[in-house]
Structure 1
Amino acid sequence: MADTLKKYITSDELKKHTDPDDLWISIQGKVYDVTEWKKIHPGGDILLLNLAGQDVTDAFIAFHPGTAWKYLDNYFTGYYLEDFQVSEVSKDYRKLATQFAKSGLFEKKGHGTVISLCCCFLMLMACFYGVLCTDSFLIHIISGGLLGFTWIQVAYLGHDSGHYQIMKTRGFNKLTQILTGNCLTGISIAWWKWTHNAHHIACNSLDYDPDLQHLPVFAVSTTLFDSIRSHFYGRELTFDYLSRFFVCYQHLTYYPVMCVARFNLYLQTFLLLFSKRKIPDRALNILGILVFWTWFPLLVMCLPNWTERVLFVLASFCVCAIQHVQFTLNHFAANVYVGSPKGNDWFEKQTSGTIDIACSPSMDWFFGGLQFQLEHHLFPRLPRCQLRNISPMVQELCKKHNLPYRSLSFFEANKVTLQTLRSAAMEARDLANPVPKNLLWEAVNTHG
């Protein structure tokens, strides 16, 4: 009798509600109006806008703890999805997520956070000592490299705190994010959340994933030669003469660009924090950035001359480039697509767009857990100490459903990435393909 009283709509009718002022989604066949919720959604509005008008059960399970389900009733429209169906791979994925939750894996964070914090503190103090208390040129440059390595490990902590609580309370977790991101690295946690959450949802979509939108410097696919529109930044990614010039040599400039990529991250932080876009905790983020741009320049100026100052900064950036390379290895050579992410093939898109880095357990600290990129994308709330443990189960699930599970050594991943960049570079050199008139303003203002 209860079923006959239910109100139903079809998937086609649900797809009509994709406007920012009329935004509906479905979770396990129940339809929710999240128009107002998107304004205060902790993960930002981009995620909801990208998945609007479709069933998003898998993505909801991936990013939310069990406590989040109780809030859904506040947004229930009273409608159910008439043609709601669950694929076999989604059924198995949800069973696996339930199994991990019952086993308490999402709460078992280990002692990695405390150890990492202690290591970062010791490395930072050693860097300060090398700069302030020695006169050795070699020690000064080594101190710069040590600072870069500190930034790598600090970034892993910021990444962990952004995906799950590494501290006891949400307040202390937010404080950790500001300290690790803004104060110690100069990169805003607000900028990271804005781009990183969109990347997870639209993994390797050329027009929705900001982590693949690097024109005019890089193009991982010839599709970008068509000057496609970025739905993340809300403008066209222009492939003009300047872009063609850079892309033609991208396989040669890849590592040099990674060595100075940090300058771009600083720029992106300032562009976002001082934009008109609504930013959660804007004042706190700006304060954290001011802390960084106080202590870092002061530390650099303590060096005796400009030669050592420049080399110190370059040493820190070049060491930190290892992490920038790692981030691109996980996705640059994976499969790409054009269009918005789809909730009903969310699992398949994650497997298609990610590459793991094979390494021994002794190197897990070096990669910060992100060598298990697919495992992290499927279960982003899972503490990094659990990723190696669940990897065999993820591999088995991929094998069962004939989905790719790619795991390459660090050397192999570099090789494949360079091959991908070179392949696109050779296509860009084909002068038979015309490009639009060069727009220098567009090139200077390309984000990402």
Structure 2
Amino acid sequence: MLRRQQTQPEFHLILLRMAPQTGSTEKEAGPGSAYLQLFTWDEIRIQNGRGQGQEQWLVIDRKVYDVTKFSKRHPGGSRVMKHYAGQDATDAVVAFHNDKSLVKKYLKSLLIGELAPDQPSFESNKKKSLLEDFRELRCTIEKMGLLRPNSIFFFLIFLHLLVLDAASWLVVWYFGISFVPFVVGMAFFTTAQIQMGWFQHDLGHCSVLRKPKWNRILQIVVINVLKGLSYSWWNHLHNQHHAKPNCFRKDPDLNMHPLLFSLGKTLSKELGKKKKKFMPYNYQHKYFIFLAPLALVPFFQLSIFYFTIKRKKWLDLLLFVSFNIRVCLMYIPLMGFNNFMVYYWVSRYLESTWFIWVSQMNHIPMDIDYDKNKDWVSTQLHATCNVNQSFFNDWFTGHLNFQIEHHLFPTMPRHNYWKAAPLVKALCVKHGVEYKTKTLLEAFVDILNSLKDSGEHWLEAYLHG
């Protein structure tokens, strides 16, 4: 079945208004072909890149794109596109990309067809209503200017982490390495490093500066040079997390399952029925406190070397190696090698503890399962929750206490989350979707409660499944 292609409207309207097209019976082709073919969802779903020889197709605003080859060159990483292969990626594309003209340019050469007129854009009327209201909300948020960054805010964020980093060295340089200045310096170093982590996270989402290129350059400076990690490694993992949060085998943040922890009711029961016991999961709520941050330190250090060497990211490698050389030259002359090893690795462990509790308080207590191909809004809401706003909570978590708004609008500058929150909550109330908000302490306790429940599900299935 063939149709003639009409002139494409502006990209933001294409992506945010997905009304089925009922125009002429033919459409002019895109580059390289005379006509665009019509496809059914059954034909599209099998092109998910999983089987041998299968291609990767995406649906965006009812248009079908073959991204099989392009996914390898995708700046956000090849796996992000693969995670949406055979599915509708409209809202994900909108959420990740502020530069609509650039996306439209790339998509033009990948267009191979469109959904047939009898194929639904949505799987149910309820989902259709929710998504339509969400897209209207996004238009409202854009008109309110909530996707535009405040330069003064982020300048002060950057300045304060530089001050903390300098203070960690100055305390030791001026007061020596007796117990109190040693601990105070270590506290400054830990705080500087975690705040650099939150700031580079903003840069990775292109929410600090207007141009994506400027964000990437500053992110390289912060995460590679000032923090000693790899920007390409971080973006590769974190973009996948945002694309499919809490979806096993698609969200890299769940890689701790099942080697160290059993996560979620479904996965825990499955693990128990298979009689797999890598760890005593029924005690995981007890060993999480010390084992999770302890495991994260070597994982980060080893995986960045593996990733950058395997993918030949030589600039990344050079820059984060230069960080390690720099801190050695700064601190070893002041305190000696042995004291520096204690100073550095204890700081890294404390930073890891800080990071693991903040990053997991919004996710581990939520739904964890295989990818169910839910719509964008439902996927993000079922995998995230919020923590109450306060000056301390905002600073301590890098505004990730607004995890719901961050996941729905990943390019939104963090200083605008609180403005968007009432609008998102109203959307959830209208459609009967739970909008969870907790105190910081409740969020931490819920991590342990969730791990305890998952461990009990695993043990029951292991013994009686």
Q: CA RMSD in A?
A: 2.6
Q: Which residue pairs with 2:444 in the alignment?
A: 414
Question: What corresponds to 1:441 in structure 2?
Answer: none
Name the amino acid aligned to 2:297.
R
Q: Give deviations 1:305-334, integer Å, cap 9, x for gaps.
A: 566434423542344122221001110110
Alignment partners' CA distance in 1, 2:132 and 2:460: 46
Asked if residue 8 in structure 1 is aligned to residue 51 in structure 2, the reply is no
Shift of 1:402: 1.1
Residue 300 of structure 2 is aligned to residue 270 of structure 1: no
Q: Percent identity among equivalent residues? A: 27
**Cα 1:172–1:431 shift into 2, 3 Å:** closer
Relative distance call for 1:11 and 1:432 in structure 2 (3 A) is closer
SS at match of 2:56: strand
Count of aligned residue pairs for this structure pair: 418
Higher relative contact order (CA 8 A, sep 6+): 1
1:421-432 paired onto structure 2 within 5 Å: 421-429=451-459, 432=462
1:377-432 per-residue CA deviation (whole Å, 9 max, x = no partner) reads 00001000111100000001111111121111110011111111122334455695
- Equivalent position of 1:23 in the other structure: 56
What SS does the aligned partner of 2:170 have? Answer: helix
2:172/2:182 contact within 8 Å kept: yes
What CA distance in whole angstroms lies between the structure 2 residues aligned with 1:30 and 1:170? Answer: 26
Report the residue type matching 2:287 in the other structure.
T
Structure 1 contact 158–180 (Cα < 8 Å) conserved: yes
SS in 2 for 1:164: coil
Q: 1:223 Cα deviation (Å)?
A: 4.0
Q: Does the Cα contact within 8 Å between 2:95 and 2:409 map onto a contact in 1?
A: yes
Return the match for 1:167 from 204, 209, 223.
209
* Corresponding residue to 1:333 among 356, 359, 365: 365
- Cα 1:363–1:329 shift into 2, 3 Å: closer
2:259 is matched by which residue type in structure 1? P
Q: Distance in 2 between matches of 1:298 and 1:108?
A: 36
Q: Distance in 2 between matches of 1:157 and 1:178?
A: 12
Evaluate the alpha carbon distance shift between residue 210 and residue 299 of structure 1 in structure 2; reply closer, same or farther with a 3 A threshold: same
1:366 aligns with 2:401: no
Query: Structure 1 161/81 Cα, relative in aligned 2: closer, same or farther at 3 Å?
Result: farther
In the alignment, residue 455 of structure 2 is paired with which amino acid? A
Alpha-carbon spacing, 1:109–1:335, altered in 2? closer, same or farther (3 Å): same
Q: CA deviation at 1:118?
A: 0.7
Q: Distance in 1 between matches of 2:74 and 2:226?
A: 27
Kindly indicate whether the alpha-carbon contact (under 8 Å) linking 1:204 and 1:336 is maintained by their aligned counterparts in 2.
yes
1:143 aligned to which of 185, 195, 204: 185
Q: Which moved more, 1:21-30 or 1:193-202?
A: 21-30
User: Does the aligned pair in 2 maintain the 1:145–1:315 contact within 8 Å?
Assistant: no
**1:258, 1:325 within 8 Å by CA — same for their partners in 2?**
no
Instruction: Give the alignment partner of residue 289 of structure 1, picking from 320, 326, 330.
Output: 320
Q: 1:120 is matched with which residue?
A: 161
1:249 corresponds to: 283
Contact 2:247 2:369 in 1 (8 A): yes
Spell out the pairing of 1:294-373 with structure 2 (5 A cutoff). 294-304=325-335, 308-320=339-351, 321-338=353-370, 340=371, 342=373, 345-361=375-391, 363-373=393-403
Match of 1:446 in 2: none
- Residue matched to 1:153: 195
For structure 2, which runs of at least 5 residues remain unmatched after alignment? 5-22, 28-36, 123-127
Aligned partners of 2:405 and 2:417 also within 8 Å: yes
Measured at CA, do residues 358 and 167 of structure 1 come closer, stay the same or move farther in structure 2, by a change above 3 Å? same
| Aligned residue number for residue 75 of structure 1 | 110
Name the CA distance, whole Å, in 2 between partners of 1:217 and 1:254: 9
